[in-house]
A and B are shown apart, each in its own frame.
Chain A
Amino acid sequence: MSKLQKWFLVIFVLGSSWISPLVNSATLVVSVVDDNDKKVRDAVVYAEAVKSEQVVDAENKKSIIDQRDKEFIEYVTPVRLGTAVYFPNNDNIRHHVYSFSPAKKFEIPLYAGTPADPIVFDKPGVAVLGCNIHDWMSAYVFVSKTPYFLVTDADGRATIKNLPSGDYDVQVWHPKLKGSGKATNQRISVGKDGSISLSFVVKLKRLWSPRRAPAMSVGGY
């Protein structure tokens, strides 16, 4: 995880705890492994309240998907519905970001620097991002309806803090996930302060991707 993203996450977490400081809240500790007992990183863990009363409040929510060394950073970015995502280009060449996904179809033709207008992800779902001129570049934007979500780290762990009391459906999504996220559903009940541990075993599929062009002697990095 980049420092920037961690910093954003901290703000998010702090923000949500600030919304209902007097309500009981728990910490959800999730670990995700595949069927080979291998820790799965880049899995989005999200908890949706069974009685959905949450207001969609995406005002002023912003996110960044960086392009560095002809790769998207991060590979998987979960955002709250309505979030405006910026695509700053840190390479000295142009990129051409696109998505044909139903969740968000867009295209930012060849550009350098940071485009003035961000892309607002206003439909829940997954947008697969590619770059027209670099076939191997791909990234995923997970547009979440619920504010309670996180991406697993290298250890396959995600810790969602300050989950208010109530019943939640906790699910996992991953780019290579076989089948839909709903199949992973685990319902939890948050009553008093404390910590809930959940572990997911997911089936991953093979996902072919175009091979990255070998490094060239000029230009590039």
Chain B
Amino acid sequence: MQFHSFQTRLLVFVLGLLVLVQSSVFFAVNKANINNARVQIDEALEITAGVFKKSINDRTQRLLEKARLLSGDFAFKQAYATSEHGTILSALENHRIRIGSDWMMLISLTNNVIADTLHPDLHGVTFSLPELIKNVMESEYGETSSIEFVDGIPYQMVVVPLFTPDPSAWIIIGFVIDATFAAELQELTKSHVSIVSGRPGDSLSLVASTLANNLQTTLSNTLSAVSWEINKSIPLRMDSADYVSLVTPLWNDKDNSIIAVLQRSLDEAMQPYMRLQVILIVIFVSGLALSLVGGVLIARTVTRPVQILARHAHKIEEGDYTHYVAIKQKDELGELAESFNYMVKGLAERDRVRNLLGKVVSPAIAEELLSKEIKLGGEEREVTILFSDIRNFTTLSERQSPQRLLTLLNTYLTKIGEVVEANGGVVDKYIGDALMALFGAPLNHDDDATRAVNTAMGMHKTLGGLNVDFEQQGLPKLNIGIGINTSVVVVGNMGSNTRLNYTVIGDGVNLASRLEGLTKKYGVGVIVSESTKADTAGFLFRELDRVYVKGKTEAHTIFEPVAKEGELGHADLEALDRYHEALKQYREQNWDLARKHFLALQAKSPGDKIYQIYLGRIEKFIKAPPGSEWDGTFTHNEK
């Protein structure tokens, strides 16, 4: 499934790239966001500390304003002028309720308690916070404010003079610092506010807080454990939640013994960034999904046509040219499909031509013709040419109807043609009942001569079988002669430009034909030339004669392939040797000795025409000796 894997590869690449880019962007943006968020939270908290400070100052101012109202109240002055403790105390209490404060006191200019709403019985004793009076004495307008503990409870307090109309006493107004106080400040600062008493490094105790109860104890423990500085934001982890925290003095006294801890939940502050993160993830995932769908769709436009083309290519491989690819894309693949269709058309055409050609010429020649550029002219090559012919065909044809004759001939030619092709030869042409086969052109093998001899033997064997059939069908038996020669000839396309014929020409062709013609004379099935014998391996040959072939001035030694080596029995081999001895004596004109041998051979196989031929010649030569010049060559005068 390589197409599938192409799609997979494309998707992996596209998605991989997308994931890489997107995740890089995501992580970079996310990191920047979180860093930015932390910085902003820190900054926001510092600003909050400013707001906190201002809130405290505003509160102090409001308290002072309330106190001033009282210090100018005439009724109170009148009450004060009575010098009666009870009257003064009740007037003080009345005013305390009026302005909604938690505590009021009147202190004399000599630092004695005149009246105290928290301790109604207390008067005439020295005031317990002389520092406060000292501060107010040193102030510009005779007013001061502070945070002080009274009976262990912290109060924000202001001090103003009682004017009658000269300052005659100090009015102290106190507001308790409690959860309500913290809640008011939380509203203003939008942060958790915790009031803690204690110095850095000391054990701290929580005074009031807007935190949940369980976190309140955690806070003082956590804050005691870490080192912190005034107005520097620090991260505090309380009950597995992170709080950005900032310690700010509640009051600008000398030793910061009472502090405010402003806190914001990191998670809450990070919420806008978390929303951004979610948006980023949604964009990332939807981008991935879109890319996946888009990638698959795009990949399909490639893989589907390719799959179709592959299917069609497979059909063509099986020889089915009937299908056309229907891809109507106007892109490279569309072009490819169109080209593919043209190619199929071309292949179908070529196949038809090849089939036809194979019927007209040998498939091997057809292949040769189709594979090369066809041109006139040829090349010189060593080729073994085989000629076979039906003996007495003319006589045969006279006795048979043309229809039966043609059937007979076609059956015969088909069968022996198959033998040729089985041995790697090529049927060059049929000339009536004759067949010309080539070994070594257009295809050549190392053992073309052997193949030719083998073919000849095979043709005779095939014919033996055919003849049995023919006899059964009432047809005449066929007898064939085969001539084989190996020679350098010209092979190639011959004829005109419009009509070519692949063939071989040369003396060698003619010799093969002459040798075929001689088979009848010598009474043998096959005659091969000396050159063929020389190239043939694995066969035993009988030297038939040395002859001048008609029209030839050159002498040729001709041979009959007897059998494959090792196939002959002892007697036959002895006979073959004796024959060659007889032939030797014959050529040396030892006529009597030669005759003796031939006669002995003839006695064993009387049907062998060759012995008859030589015995006849010996008789003639005895009567008319050929002379000392004779080299043993025989000249055939008639065909």
* Chain A residues at the B interface, C-beta cutoff of 8 Å: 96, 98, 100, 105, 128-132, 135-138, 175, 206-211
Contact = CB atoms under 8 A, between A and B. Distances in A.
Interface in B120-153: 141-142
B164 interface: yes
B27 interface: no
B163 interface: yes
Given A135-B72, A208-B142, A105 B81 contact: yes
A132 B164 CA distance: 9
B78 to A, nearest CB: 8
Nearest to B139: A208
B161 interface: yes
A25 B167 CA distance: 41
A208 B141 contact: yes
B163 A210 contact: yes
B331 interface: no
Nearest to B77: A100
Contacts of B81: 100, 105
7 contacts: A128-B164, A130-B164, A132-B74, A175-B166, A207-B166, A208-B141, A211-B141
Interface residue SS majority, chain B: mixed
A132 to B, nearest CB: 5
Interface string B480-491: 000000000000
A209 B162 CA distance: 10
B165 interface: yes
B67 to A, nearest CB: 12
Contacts of A208: 141-142, 161, 163, 167
Interface string B62-82: 000000100110100110110
A100 B79 CA distance: 10
Contact of A209 (B68, B77, B80, B166): B166
A211 B166 CA distance: 12
A186 to B, nearest CB: 26
A175 B166 CA distance: 9
Given A129-B165, A210-B72, 13 more contacts: A96-B74, A100-B81, A128-B164, A128-B166, A130-B164, A130-B165, A135-B72, A137-B165, A138-B165, A138-B166, A207-B166, A207-B167, A211-B141
B165 A210 contact: yes
B163 A135 contact: yes
Most interface-central of B141, B142, B166 (chain A CB within 10 A)? B166
B160 to A, nearest CB: 9
Contacts of B74: 96, 98, 132
Contacts of B80: 100
A105 B77 CA distance: 13
Nearest to B78: A100
B84 to A, nearest CB: 13
Contacts of A209: 163, 165-167
